[in-house]
Structure 1
Amino acid sequence: MKRTSLAVAVAGISLVASGCWESPRTVRPADNLNTRNDNVSNTNSNRAANVSNTTQPSNSNMNKTTETGFFANLPTGFQNPTDDVGKKLLREYGSVFVARGGAFPPKTVVFRDESDVSAFQNSLGKTSARIGNFDLELQTAAMAALKDAIADAQKKGLKITPRGADSAKRTYNETVGLWKSRVDPALAHWVGKGRLTQTEADRIRNLPTYEQVKEVLSLEDKGIFFAKDLSKSIIYSVAPPGTSQHLSLLALDVSEFENADVCRILAEHGWFQTVTSDLPHFTYLGAKESELPGLGLKKMSNAGRDFWIPNI
């Protein structure tokens, strides 16, 4: 996820201890098979009915006598992380996992590799469209809601456009590229500052991506940060490979993110800001704003913007 820094106080990112960032079970196509008719109606009335019928906490992967709120609304079969890194990522990016309104969220916080991501994405009902100057692909319900929002914005003389070609769907390998765009320069910087040896940097650079994440977050626990400005955790700059909401086809980076009227229109169609460190990023939750607390989300206001994040 490309980051636009937000002036938020970030403290206590003690993420990694020995044994953290556990290997998730490989996701088989059957695990995320979503049978859905792609011919989703593009009318506001039908979508409102769809949202209303799908915001009940019926997709619990927990015993509902003991779990409520956010965890009770996760998809059936969701793999709850047990390690510190996974739990942190669930708090940071987890709103997408309770998406409704015809959306099919992933059942894991992290995909291990390209084959995991491809298996999930191939199981989805998807729609492609040219929005602005870019060809985008989203889950069918998310695309239909986006088109409705764009139409409403046009009536008010406003535009809703993507920031770039990678503003919607991404592949695992694309998230690896974004990750490396932060890690490689940071390694060179910290070698120059004497905080790492060239041998250490080369070893980390050559690790498999999945193992590299653990190493990078471990170094950040020591104050060796990998965000673009080198002052904070890399997770506030880009999502670790396999964790980006863009892999779910339920996220969009919007050019007009600073326009309050655009944000309001997107929210009316189920699109909300959910990642406090990524201002252009919107997530299709497929629910009315009044229903989000019932899904286990809480509103956090920052710099005049409202973000809906897991209430955990």
Structure 2
Amino acid sequence: MKKLLKKIKFFSIVILIIFTLVASNEITHHKIAITAQPLNGCLSTDSLPCTDISKKTTSEPFIPDAKLNNQERFLSAIARKLSTIPQPGTYEYTLLRMYGAVFVNQDVGIKLPQKDIFASEQETQDFQATLTMAHVDGTNDCYLQKSAADALNKARVQQQIPLKSGYGSGDCTRTFNTNLRFWHKYANDQVLAKVQQGKETKILGLVAPPGTSQHLWGLAIDLRIGSKEQRKALNQNGWFQTVENDIPHWTYVGLSEENLSLFGFKKQAIRGITYWITPL
């Protein structure tokens, strides 16, 4: 009888400890600010893929913890959008570094893909079919995700901001095949293999590999910009240059310029043009 009582007492203590730990974890689980510790896995090539480390609903505005460094703040923001963050040294991580600025977007009207590579025209079409699109005023057939188009239209009311080609759809949301055609205009399969192996990155500032362009997501546009006033109007409405050396390319980030640093972006001036680069 005494042995039975001891066993019951022992298991009661164990259950109490487990309950305490679960309760404690539940409180931590719902904190908005993400500490540096959960991000360690995202920064190590030895660890497993970094899964979504913030389960707070993405419909609520997110403010990164100012105590984190630039990279950690950026990762804490994009972890709310991507189901898995690629590991450093991988092809996917290289693409995230170059084109991942859009994943910090806080606009609830914006829809983002769950990965940064589309494998085919069909996969691209399936994603684009879920988007709410809107027309860019004064263009022939230029469409973007509605929030991006609305912001661009506001900027174009402030300043005359022409598309790179003048009016064409190729400057706006593109199909997978259009992305592929642009790639073959400037590169080939051998160059793609080098990019995938991490041996070539300069080409990424000229053209995006097949299935990886921000244009596929309806969140990028190519423009002809020549004045500070035009840039100011675009910046005031959430549009920034985020792809280093791609001069015509503008990305809808949806943040104010004052908040870009808070989300970890690095300001970089190259030949008189200000780019906001991801800290990866």
CA distance in structure 2 between the aligned counterparts of 1:124 and 1:218, rounded to whole angstroms? 29
Query: Which of 152, 174, 179 is residue 175 of structure 1 equivalent to?
Result: 179
Is 1:69 matched with 2:73?
yes
Is 1:240 matched with 2:209?
yes
Q: Give the total of aligned pairs.
A: 212
TM-score (norm 2): 0.68
Letter in 1 for 2:240: F
State the match for 2:126 in structure 1.
119
Q: Secondary structure at the match of 1:163?
A: coil
The residue correspondences of 1:196-275 to structure 2 (distance < 5 A) are: 214-217=192-195, 221=199, 233-255=202-224, 257-275=225-243
State the Cα RMSD in Å: 2.7
CA distance in structure 2 between the aligned counterparts of 1:69 and 1:128, rounded to whole angstroms? 33
Preserved contact between residue 98 and residue 105 of structure 1 (Cα < 8 Å): no
Looking at both structures, which has the greater relative contact order when contacts are Cα pairs under 8 Å and sequence separation is at least 6?
1
Cα deviations by residue, 1:127-168 (Å, 9 ceiling, x for unpaired):
124434x32110001111111111111xxxxx1111131111
Q: CA deviation at 1:106?
A: 2.3
CA distance in structure 2 between the aligned counterparts of 1:260 and 1:146, rounded to whole angstroms? 16
From the superposition, tell whether residues 55 and 271 of structure 1 become closer, same or farther in structure 2 (CA, over 3 Å): farther
From the superposition, tell whether residues 70 and 130 of structure 1 become closer, same or farther in structure 2 (CA, over 3 Å): same
CA distance in structure 2 between the aligned counterparts of 1:117 and 1:57, rounded to whole angstroms? 31
Query: Which of 81, 87, 90 is residue 93 of structure 2 equivalent to?
Result: 87
Q: Secondary structure at the match of 1:264?
A: helix
Unmatched tracts of structure 1, length 5 or more: 1-35, 37-52, 59-63, 154-158, 185-203, 205-211, 226-231
Is 1:300 matched with 2:278?
no
CA distance in structure 1 between the aligned counterparts of 2:74 and 2:235, rounded to whole angstroms? 20
Preserved contact between residue 103 and residue 285 of structure 1 (Cα < 8 Å): no
CA distance in structure 2 between the aligned counterparts of 1:259 and 1:295, rounded to whole angstroms? 27
Cα deviations by residue, 1:96-119 (Å, 9 ceiling, x for unpaired):
111223322322121111122112
Letter in 2 for 1:149: A
From the superposition, tell whether residues 266 and 86 of structure 1 become closer, same or farther in structure 2 (CA, over 3 Å): same
Query: Stretches of 4+ moved more than 6 A in 1?
Result: none
Structure with more of its chain in helix, by fraction: 2
State the match for 1:150 in structure 2.
156
Q: Secondary structure at the match of 1:215?
A: helix
Q: Secondary structure at the match of 1:54?
A: coil
Query: Which of 78, 92, 107 is residue 83 of structure 2 equivalent to?
Result: 78
Letter in 2 for 1:170: R
Q: Secondary structure at the match of 2:155?
A: helix
Q: Secondary structure at the match of 2:208?
A: coil
State the match for 1:280 in structure 2.
248
Letter in 2 for 1:237: L
Preserved contact between residue 92 and residue 116 of structure 2 (Cα < 8 Å): yes
Q: Secondary structure at the match of 2:85?
A: coil
Cα deviations by residue, 1:181-224 (Å, 9 ceiling, x for unpaired):
1235xxxxxxxxxxxxxxxxxxx5xxxxxxx6652437993xxx
From the superposition, tell whether residues 163 and 213 of structure 1 become closer, same or farther in structure 2 (CA, over 3 Å): same
CA distance in structure 2 between the aligned counterparts of 1:215 and 1:117, rounded to whole angstroms? 22
CA distance in structure 2 between the aligned counterparts of 1:260 and 1:126, rounded to whole angstroms? 29
Preserved contact between residue 192 and residue 209 of structure 2 (Cα < 8 Å): no
CA distance in structure 1 between the aligned counterparts of 2:203 and 2:175, rounded to whole angstroms? 19
Q: CA deviation at 1:125?
A: 1.2
Q: CA deviation at 1:55?
A: 5.0
Cα deviations by residue, 1:8-46 (Å, 9 ceiling, x for unpaired):
xxxxxxxxxxxxxxxxxxxxxxxxxxxx9xxxxxxxxxx
From the superposition, tell whether residues 213 and 118 of structure 1 become closer, same or farther in structure 2 (CA, over 3 Å): farther
The residue correspondences of 1:30-49 to structure 2 (distance < 5 A) are: none
Unmatched tracts of structure 2, length 5 or more: 1-58
Preserved contact between residue 103 and residue 112 of structure 2 (Cα < 8 Å): yes
| Larger-Rg structure | 2
